[in-house]
């Protein structure tokens, strides 16, 4: 029993944003048919790294989906597509103006499906015809200004923050529409212009920068801060910590134990040290004090010391450390599925819904792997299917 059992989805999307939405739908139990051109989703070629010849990124984003490969420029291919679209509950279209599915992004659906389009920019705006990509989306949301230094080459977030958030938002949008549909029987169009996703995630900054009483605090000042790389500890690793729950007494004991008790006279360390750590006003300025205090200690010692004195702390971890940590195992978020190329690890869902079990998705499909099966479900006879394949209207692989 899953939330979206019985629901069918047609995914006409390449790359990241649309497929993330489709993945979340699959994880919730929907049957997701990924419609690909004969050349396949461009993301199949996004690498290295490749696994069994297919992009690892593609494989993770398209688990649990069926692949129907058709040629949308072939009249019979279009017929197959239209027949599919007429029978699904949800359509997800990436709306890339230079992609193969652009035409289907503008549809006003007839009947009751939920039609979710993810164009790069607003279709009614001056940039309607422009394609988008992760780096440019981050640049437009001024993300590079929250990284690195102004006098150095700009950086971006390593995560595909804009496109992935777009997919999350589209999923939220689709769920809202499905709720309305469950109550009224009515479908509708949901539009999610992808350029807006990271802008949404940075909304705290836009409010802070509007008309502040004083130019004060990290939301204003961080643009001029040096890169935040944590605090170095004696064994060469770095940590990050805050003292939100400390008291004057705990703070005094902490700095005594660290041999820096002189800081209690330093106004930057007032208020239990709150402004001297984390995103506190003086944190980046007094970092050398902490680093010299931690110089002769190991990470474990420092973390323990901070936690015993009302603080919260974490090492700054890379993936090998993170995925070896027992807390990740406790989350149960990493799944492994067998594939022809060997065992394949991927992330499951980061939330639980009581009483609705977790769907363990099978591997991502080969291009056109389910073409024949989907055609059969659409009512084509095997002979008709083979004729479509011979005509080049569809292709079957896998």
Nearest to 123 by CA among 95, 81, 85: 95
Nearest to 107 by CA among 80, 86, 128: 86
327 lies in the site for another protein, by CB under 8 A: yes
The span from the CA of 331 to the CA of 320, in Å, is 16
Query: Which tokens is 247 given?
Result: 């008291």
13 lies in the site for another protein, by CB under 8 A: no
Instruction: Please state the closest distance from residue 303 (CB atom) to another protein, in A.
Output: 11
Contacting another protein (CB under 8 A), which of 264, 333, 337, 373? Answer: 333
What are 34's strand-pairing partners?
11, 67
Going by DSSP bridges, is the β-strand pair 90-93/8-12 parallel, antiparallel, or unpaired? Answer: parallel
Which CB atom, from 231 or from 293, has the smaller least distance to another protein? 231
Report helix angle 299-308 to 248-257, nearest 10: 150
The stretch near another protein (CB under 8 A) out of 77-85, 223-231, 251-259, 378-386 is 223-231
Going by DSSP bridges, is the β-strand pair 8-12/31-36 parallel, antiparallel, or unpaired? Answer: parallel
The span from the CA of 178 to the CA of 164, in Å, is 21
- In Å, what is the CA distance from 388 to each residue of 70, 85, 100, 306? 9, 18, 19, 67
381 lies in the site for another protein, by CB under 8 A: no
Instruction: Please state the closest distance from residue 107 (CB atom) to another protein, in A.
Output: 11
Instruction: Please state the closest distance from residue 388 (CB atom) to another protein, in A.
Output: 26
Nearest to 92 by CA among 77, 79, 80, 107: 107
Q: H/E/C letters for each residue in 227-286?
A: CCCCEECCCCCEEEEECCCCCHHHHHHHHHHCCCHHHHHCHHHCHHHHHHCCCCCCCCCC
Which CB atom, from 136 or from 234, has the smaller least distance to another protein? 136
Which CB atom, from 9 or from 313, has the smaller least distance to another protein? 313
The span from the CA of 137 to the CA of 31, in Å, is 30
Instruction: Please state the closest distance from residue 139 (CB atom) to another protein, in A.
Output: 4
Q: How big is the chain, counted in residues?
A: 398
Residues between 290 and 319 with contacts to another protein, criterion CB under 8 A: 312-319
Residues between 83 and 102 with contacts to another protein, criterion CB under 8 A: 97-99
In degrees and rounded to multiples of 5, residue 96 shows phi and psi of -65, 125
210 lies in the site for another protein, by CB under 8 A: yes
106 lies in the site for another protein, by CB under 8 A: no
Contacting another protein (CB under 8 A), which of 86, 110, 324, 347? Answer: 347
177 lies in the site for another protein, by CB under 8 A: yes
Query: Which tokens is 159 given?
Result: 């995560």
48 lies in the site for another protein, by CB under 8 A: yes
The stretch near another protein (CB under 8 A) out of 44-52, 261-269, 286-294, 374-382 is 44-52
Instruction: Please state the closest distance from residue 334 (CB atom) to another protein, in A.
Output: 8
Q: Check the CA dihedral 302-307-313-314 and report its sign.
A: positive
Non-local CB neighbours of 321 within 8 Å, separated by 6+ positions = 315
324 lies in the site for another protein, by CB under 8 A: no
Nearest to 254 by CA among 313, 173, 318, 208: 313
337 lies in the site for another protein, by CB under 8 A: no
Instruction: Please state the closest distance from residue 287 (CB atom) to another protein, in A.
Output: 13
Which CB atom, from 157 or from 389, has the smaller least distance to another protein? 157
227 lies in the site for another protein, by CB under 8 A: yes
Which CB atom, from 266 or from 312, has the smaller least distance to another protein? 312
3 lies in the site for another protein, by CB under 8 A: yes
The stretch near another protein (CB under 8 A) out of 76-84, 248-256, 287-295, 353-361 is 353-361
Query: Which tokens is 44 given?
Result: 């199949």
386 lies in the site for another protein, by CB under 8 A: no
276 lies in the site for another protein, by CB under 8 A: no
Contacting another protein (CB under 8 A), which of 17, 165, 286, 394? Answer: 165
271 lies in the site for another protein, by CB under 8 A: no
355 lies in the site for another protein, by CB under 8 A: yes
75 lies in the site for another protein, by CB under 8 A: no
Which CB atom, from 256 or from 324, has the smaller least distance to another protein? 324
The span from the CA of 20 to the CA of 171, in Å, is 8
DSSP state letter for 124:
T
């Amino acid at each position: 029993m899953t939330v979206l059992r019985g629901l069918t989805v047609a995914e006409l999307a390449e790359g990241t944003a649309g497929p993330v939405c489709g993945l979340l739908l699959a994880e919730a139990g929907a049957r997701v048919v990924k419609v690909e051109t004969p050349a396949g989703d461009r993301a199949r070629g996004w690498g290295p790294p490749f696994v069994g010849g297919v992009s690892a990124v593609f494989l993770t984003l398209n688990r649990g989906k069926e692949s129907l490969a058709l040629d949308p420029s072939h009249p019979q291919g279009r017929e197959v597509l239209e027949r599919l679209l007429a029978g699904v509950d949800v359509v997800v279209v990436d709306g890339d103006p230079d992609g193969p599915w652009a035409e289907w992004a503008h549809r006003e659906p007839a009947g009751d499906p939920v039609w979710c389009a993810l164009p790069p920019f607003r279709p009614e705006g001056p940039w309607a015809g422009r394609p988008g990509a992760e780096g440019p989306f981050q640049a437009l949301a001024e993300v590079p200004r929250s990284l690195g230094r102004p006098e150095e080459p700009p950086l971006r977030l390593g995560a595909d923050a804009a496109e992935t958030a777009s997919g999350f938002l589209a999923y939220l949008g689709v769920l809202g529409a499905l709720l309305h549909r469950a109550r009224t029987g009515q479908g509708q169009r949901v539009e999610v212009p992808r350029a807006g996703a990271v802008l949404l995630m940075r909304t705290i900054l836009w409010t802070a920068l509007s008309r502040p009483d004083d130019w004060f605090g990290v939301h204003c000042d961080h643009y001029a801060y040096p890169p935040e790389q944590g605090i170095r500890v004696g064994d060469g690793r770095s940590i990050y910590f805050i003292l939100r729950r400390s008291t004057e007494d705990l703070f005094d004991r902490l700095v005594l134990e660290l041999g820096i008790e002189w800081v209690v006279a330093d106004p930057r360390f007032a208020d239990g040290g709150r402004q001297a750590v984390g995103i506190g006003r003086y944190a980046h300025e007094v970092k050398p004090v902490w680093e010299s205090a931690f110089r002769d200690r190991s990470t474990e010692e420092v973390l323990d010391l901070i936690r015993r004195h009302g603080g919260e702390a974490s090492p700054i971890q890379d993936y090998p450390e993170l995925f070896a940590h027992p807390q990740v195992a406790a989350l149960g978020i990493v799944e492994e599925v067998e594939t022809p190329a060997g065992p394949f690890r991927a992330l499951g869902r980061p939330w639980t819904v009581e009483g609705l079990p977790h769907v363990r998705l099978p591997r991502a499909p080969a291009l056109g792997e389910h073409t024949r099966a989907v055609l059969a479900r659409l009512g084509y006879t095997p002979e008709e299917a083979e004729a479509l394949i011979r005509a080049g209207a569809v292709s079957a692989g896998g």
